[in-house]
Chains A and B, each alone.
Chain A
């Protein structure tokens, strides 16, 4: 698996562009990078932006992973930690996708099957309800 350190800056930009992250910081031995998204009108209102509809390529079947509980959605294990997954990353069965904080507990949501992340559908640090779409994935 590709680690984040092995990516070049350009692909980092692309990853950030495609992600739903609002801020991203990375420091490696060789470089340090900070990216920040200018808030859009929608984000400023505090609503969850509707996922943009990108037609799936022919023959590509995507599945949606939904939230099993009501809680707060986090893509990172800690505020300054790198995200569990990003667009394009592949995860194996049992790998952690995100945490959902509920009743002061950080519930780690694990992938039920090996898959590749196509899109992150939930907004980090926002509330998710039962059944809320979290990730669009391609089964591997």
Chain B
């Protein structure tokens, strides 16, 4: 039984988990940095422990302090949240060895899917389509040139240990390979302490669609439909929606069943996502996110399943308590991420409310944004019967938002929402460039 959970995270996601704990009658302890002492998650939790100073390396990545805090406050589980140590297999193992439950997949699963080469291999075996490319890690520059030559340019070099857009290099032609190879190697070593690289065909302006799954670790797997996350700025997602617009029923089903097959093959436990690139009539496996995702509320709104609650119940060994037939995906949901473009004090914050609007934020007037952490200020999520209705509700909701004191992307988000491309559902990873960058360039 889990009676007390240590939350090793901050911001809106720490607050989201505190709330789930309260709903389940479970005590929560928030591990926080000195900078986050006055945040809502710390205030609402039953207990809190300071684990270090502001920089993430000194606090939210201090595995020893986090585990000690959990043991000394007599927690039985650690929820790693999103980012930080959530996909760190070594940390998950340390948690397991300390006799605590890690609310997430087994450490072995995290290690397996964290390596892109290994993940591609297991995906292919499970019958999931993968982008054409090398099946093994690159040996050297000549190997890269040989594989790229047979695939045809452009290609993309990725750090095997990478993710979230880091450690990737697009190579347009043979001449660019030597330089890109050297830089990717350097970046991979620098960011991930692992110089292993692999190479795939590069798909220009694909759509980015992902499937949300829940699994109990014993073969029971359900999916909660897909989310389209194509609207991105430098690999950072801006809008996420479900169902994905203009996606054929056949592809939707194929993607979902491929994802379920992959999670079965992995013996996956917990909440997780399979990300795909969609290129015209084809879709390709990109990666497994072995954790909760920022955009999880979108799936919660269309499925009625509370994903954080489900994560905790799975960690308690209660199983899924759900079969695919119990999942009824209805209506439409859209999330808009509001990001800061600098640090500072929020002199005034007004978040939207009213019918069909959910806001996940940890900020209020007077909150101080530290330069140490990511820029997410708030997630505005709307639910509706249809996409058209949802877009209208989102427009109304964004119009109510006031954030004074720091620059935000609110203006850009309103522009994207109003753009013809977004409204008609022809979303690709190139949309931000077409709507925002080009408009800026043309005055």
Contacts and interface: CB of A to CB of B under 8 A. Distances in A.
A69 B50 contact: no
Interface string B62-75: 00111111001100
Contacts of A131: 34, 50, 53
A71 B66 CA distance: 10
Interface residues of A, number: 11
Contacts of A70: 49-51, 64-66, 68-69, 72
Interface string B28-61: 0000001000000000000001111100000100
Contacts of A7: none
A69 B67 CA distance: 11
Contacts of B67: 103
Contacts, number: 40
A5 interface: no
A127 B73 CA distance: 8
A26 interface: no
B99 to A, nearest CB: 12
Contacts of B52: 130
Contact of A69 (B34, B68, B73): B68
Contact of B64 (A69, A72, A129): A69
A5 B73 CA distance: 38
Nearest to B34: A131
A58 to B, nearest CB: 31
Contacts of A69: 64-65, 68
- Binding site of A, secondary structure by majority: helix, strand, loop or mixed? loop
Contacts of A15: none
A34 B68 CA distance: 33
B68 A102 contact: yes
Nearest to A131: B50
Interface string A62-106: 000000011110000000000000000000000000000011000
Contacts of A72: 72
Contacts of B68: 69-71, 102-103
Contacts of B66: 70
Nearest to A127: B72
Interface string A123-140: 000010111100000000
Contact of B50 (A71, A103, A130): A130
Contacts of A132: 50
A88 B59 CA distance: 34
Nearest to B48: A129
A130 B33 CA distance: 8
A32 B34 CA distance: 45
Which of B52, B68, B72, B73 neighbours the largest number of chain A CB atoms within 10 Å of its CB?
B68
A102 B66 CA distance: 10
6 closest pairs, A vs B, by CB?
A127-B72, A70-B65, A129-B50, A70-B68, A130-B50, A102-B68
Given A70-B51, A129-B50, 19 more contacts: A69-B68, A70-B64, A70-B65, A70-B66, A70-B69, A70-B72, A71-B68, A71-B72, A102-B65, A102-B68, A127-B72, A127-B73, A129-B51, A129-B69, A130-B50, A130-B51, A130-B52, A130-B59, A131-B53
6 contacts: A69-B64, A69-B65, A70-B50, A102-B64, A127-B73, A130-B49
